[in-house]
Structure 1
């Protein structure tokens, strides 16, 4: 991107992508010649989002700030919506954004839960099935001491650290990848290679305790590639 004829000593750049590293340089030009500034670096944060209460299963409770979801047998009085998870056992909730470009990173803080799933899904993913049990969703799931990644009912076991407390999710929509990490360390857990056909939204299942989402984060330095946008 080249911006010519800047007259002021400040300038606002619009249209930067989320979760991207940029390098900026200013070049001064006059009749005597030209000179470039020292490059400046900028890293944009990922797309922020919250949980969508209208999608939450009737056995789930979403906090007032829409960042925490917990299993709650008493919270069954919810109106039916077409986006709400409905099946017995499919205790799901989605994020309130659909992503169709760029790189995005978020984390799920495990609030004592030993049975949960974290991933992404198309809007068309069935709400009466567990996420990962169909061709429209991809997840990392834990059930007690068993950890798996799942898509279209196919599972693969993984072995995270026994002390894992935050699941990091790195979505690169344009490159077609969904990667899971230990959010408190650098351990890579698994990467799905996906040819996305639709926008995707973050999605979560919680069968006990709670999860809290941490969003609008910069992509951690150790997960960044070496290439920058300029």
Structure 2
């Protein structure tokens, strides 16, 4: 009986050890978050990237175009820059801090969109635009007003590739303010346009619970 008890106790110990190891592995397994930087190769000459290419700043006088490396990826007519990652599946969340900007657009665009167009002006990009202290959803150059929400200094964005939805998030209230529904053509890329001030992107974040 003593031997049997010891054997059972040993088996139970090994079982608990295996369970504990599995639980530890589950807790410590890294989650896959959307992480991106801004792609300098796409940035218009009026835009400067900073903070390890996670921020973009508008300059009143742009760089002489003759001094900007020519490549087909660069926006030459509009102050636009794209992120360096393409998205085709899953849900992805990021936030943007706005500093001293009164006019900008933030959204997603087809990765191969024309570099002669501005995001929001064609049917291959979907954005939230801020202009004259008001928010708008925008695509194909059509602007739909959105009611005021929260503070302007930081906002969130949620892309649902399978659901064909792109949402504007009030970070303070953890609430969806507006959702654009469209037949997205993949792959998509986060996209930004700026006419004053600066934007700082925050990726590598989990989706806020409750949205």
TM (normalized to structure 2)?
Answer: 0.82
What are the Cα deviations for residues 27-65 of structure 1, in whole angstroms up to 9, with x where unaligned? xxxxxxxxxxxx979893521001001110001000150
Aligned equivalents of 1:186, 1:41: Cα separation in 2: 26
Distance 1:113 1:45, change over 3 A: farther
Query: Which of 1 and 2 has greater Rg?
Result: 2
Q: Aligned match of 1:185 in 166, 173, 186? A: 173
Asked if 1:86 is matched to 2:76, the reply is: yes
Distance 1:48 1:124, change over 3 A: same
**1:31-42 aligned within 5 A:** none
SS in 2 for 1:140: strand
Aligned equivalents of 2:152, 2:21: Cα separation in 1: 44
Asked if 1:134 is matched to 2:99, the reply is: no
**1:121-160 aligned within 5 A:** 121-160=109-148
**1:39-188 aligned within 5 A:** 44-76=31-63, 77-87=67-77, 90-161=78-149, 163-188=151-176
Q: Which runs of 5+ in 2 are unaligned?
A: 1-17
Structure whose residues are more often helix by fraction: 2
Aligned equivalents of 2:76, 2:51: Cα separation in 1: 22
Given that 2:134 and 2:148 are in contact with CA atoms closer than 8 Å, whether structure 1 keeps it comes out as no
RMSD (Å), alpha carbons: 2.7
Aligned equivalents of 1:152, 1:216: Cα separation in 2: 30
What are the Cα deviations for residues 55-93 of structure 1, in whole angstroms up to 9, with x where unaligned? 100010001500110101345142122111111xx2100
Aligned equivalents of 1:185, 1:114: Cα separation in 2: 22
Distance 1:45 1:168, change over 3 A: farther
Aligned equivalents of 1:211, 1:40: Cα separation in 2: 34
SS in 2 for 1:213: strand
Distance 1:186 1:60, change over 3 A: same
Distance 1:164 1:187, change over 3 A: farther
User: How many residues in Structure 1 have an aligned counterpart in Structure 2?
Assistant: 192
SS in 2 for 1:54: helix
Aligned equivalents of 1:101, 1:116: Cα separation in 2: 27
Distance 1:41 1:63, change over 3 A: closer
Once the two structures are TM-superposed, the CA of residue 177 in structure 1 deviates from its matched residue by: 0.9
Q: Which runs of 5+ in 1 are unaligned?
A: 1-6, 12-23, 27-38, 224-230
SS in 1 for 2:156: strand
Aligned equivalents of 2:174, 2:143: Cα separation in 1: 23
